[in-house]
Amino acid sequence: MKIAVLRERFEGESRVAATPETVAKYIGLGAEVAVEKGAGTGSRISDDQFKEAGATIGATAAATLKGADIVLCVRRPAASELSGVNKGALVIGALDPYGNEKDVAALAKAGVAAVSMEFMPRITRAQVMDILSSQANLAGYQAVMEAAAVFDRAMPMMMTAAGTVRPAKAFVMGAGVAGLQAIATAKRLGAVVSATDVRAAAGEQVESLGAKFIMTDALKDASGTGGYARELTKDEQAAQAELVAGHISKQDIVVTTALIPGRPAPKLVSKAMVESMTPGSVIVDLAAERGGNVELTQPGKVIIHNGVTIIGYTNLAAHIPTTASQLYARNLLSFIDTLVDKKEKKLAINWDDELVKATVLTRDGAVVHPNFMAAAPAAAPKADTAHDIAAKPASAKKPAAKKAPAKTEMAHDPEANSAPAKKPATRKPAASKATASKAATAPKADIAHDPEAKPASRKPAARKPAAKTAAAEPHPQSDATAKAPAAKKPAARKPAAKKPAAPKGGEK
């Protein structure tokens, strides 16, 4: 089992996918590790340090990749750069597949199994493998440090002989991993911090860090799935914008963190809001890579508008590469540890494991992740609910047999418009047959699976009135049928005829 660690070629990327610490542990798992020359330079890790940990240094990418079973990277490598790896080799990293579907398809053609660590499920077992959380945590910290570096005033309150210096006011928009770390960092620097989030549950976390939580009364809660917030309605957006507009004008530092993978960043701060801030204020937009939360953000740049500095760096974690690489490398190690047979000391991938299924983009020459398969994206969700697209017609009939009056079935299937009148007749008599005899229960299954069996089930319904049982009376739903009411009415009159006899005895 050979693991190759590549030098990053993406502009501005200074992180590395392995460290001497993780290299030593890979070797302990039975792996041979090859690191491309200069791979750790940006993170202050020399080739000699990798050698001391037991890795070999590849002079070129080709030499490093030759015969590799696993390729570790930070950014997605080009498919053309992976020649020489073993067939089916794992390429593991932050592959950023959204918007790069052609590159994902190219990786599939290259015959590698591409694993996108951004898709790691947010479950307890996978927390130690979550690269989004580890890197967002550092981004939140660095956002405040970048703001403090350009803020031309002191952050904490200072009481001096010359007078008191008021503390800076910091406002964090979004209390996820990055937001919470930004709050904690700003508090450590002495700022007065406030924060907002559309998820009500975030309030306790914000307040636990000593910040003030603000939330509009018009927005009860916008929690979504996977730890992210759902999309706001127009009314909720308007209420949130009004809240922000009234608060942001009084702030010295603003950090925006609203970002959902695969989607454009929501616009939270308008040009007018920026212009309402005092000159010298700073905004750090952590969503710049997806267009930014601020209307004026320019991804990858720092601009000044009306005296307000807007920082739009797209890779803040890479601004502290040594720490970022340490955490990122440990994330990858924790995941690879689940793919290795410790006794045999070789790869033993369970392709049905929930972590693997959630993160694998390509395998055996094809794109296999449901979000990126060649089939229409809309088809995947349908298959998830029905489990088999081809089986949908059959699955549609079964609920119709159990819930005959369901209007949704008639609305979607023109041919079913005439069926509801017949189906109730077969179901309800069948329910009363269960009390009469075991033979009556068999038609139920036939009705659900075979439409042609319905006529046969009606005949026993016609004979049923002969059985004068009290069980037929407590089913008023059967009055909706054409024949059943006639059969039940005589049964209801007979008890009525006996009741008068009782009053006569009472008169005596």
Catalytic residues: 122, 127, 130, 133, 228
Helices within 219-262 (DSSP H only): 234-248
Report how far residue 167's alpha carbon sits from residue 250's, in angstroms, rounded to the nearest whole number. Answer: 13
Whole-Å CA distances, 250 to 35, 156, 164, 171, 436: 50, 16, 19, 9, 78
Residue among 8, 138, 3, 2 at smallest CA distance from 73: 8
How is residue 221 written in tokens? 């809660």
**Cα 163 to the center of its chain, rounded Å:** 51
The rounded distance, in Å, linking the Cα atoms of 279 and 236 is 30
Q: Which residue, among 361, 440, 478, has the nearest Cα to 79 in the 3D structure?
A: 361
Sign of the dihedral defined by the CA atoms of residues 174, 175, 180, 184, in that order:
positive
Q: What CA–CA distance (Å, rounded) separates 77 from 481? A: 67
User: H helices within 71-176, ranges in order?
Assistant: 101-109, 131-150
The C-alpha atoms of residue 39 and residue 49 are separated, in whole angstroms, by 11
Do the Cβ atoms of 288 and 255 come closer than 8 Å?
no
Rounded Cα distance, 483 and 477, in Å: 13
CA angle 97/316/124 to nearest 5° reads 60
Which amino acid is residue 193, in one-letter code?
A: V
Q: How many residues does the chain have?
A: 508
Are 310 and 296 contacting, i.e. CB atoms less than 8 angstroms apart? yes
Instruction: Name the 3-class secondary structure at 62.
Output: helix
**Contact between residue 191 and residue 170 where contact means Cβ atoms under 8 Å apart:** yes
**294-299 long-range contacts, CB within 8 A, separation 24+:** 294/256, 294/267, 294/268, 294/269, 295/267, 295/269, 295/270, 295/271, 296/271
56-58 and 90-94: which strand pairing?
Answer: unpaired
